[in-house]
Amino acid sequence: MTDVNGDNRDDLILQYNYGGSRYWQARLSTGSSFAYNGDWTSTTTPGVTVVGVADVNGDNRDDLILQY
C-alpha cells in the first residue's frame, strides 16, 4: 500500500487479468474504505509485472513502475 494521490492516506493497488489484458487500479483511501477510481493503467503485452511503486517524477504522488 502506498499514497498515490498525495493526501497522506495509504491507498490500495490492485492487479488483475481480464479478457487477455492486465489491469491495475489504485483504490483511494477515504479513511474508512477504498474507493473505486477507475483503471490506473492496462496493457495487452504479456508478462508485464509491477516492480515498484515510488514517486519517480517528484510530484509527491507515487507512480507505478512496470517491467516486461
What would the x/- binding string for Ca ion be over residues 24 to 63, using CB under 5 A? -------------------------------x-x-x-x-x
Among 9, 23, 27, 40, binds Ca ion (CB under 5 A): 9
The SS3 call for residue 56 is coil
Nearest distance from C-beta of residue 3 to Ca ion, angstroms: 4
CB atoms closer than 10 angstroms to residue 12: 15
Among 3, 24, 25, 34, binds Ca ion (CB under 5 A): 3
**Per-residue exposure over 25-41, b if at least 16 CB sit within 10 Å of its own CB, e if not:** bbbbbeeeebeeeeebe
DSSP for residue 13? E
Contact set with Ca ion (CB under 5 A): 3, 5, 7, 9, 11, 55, 57, 59, 61, 63
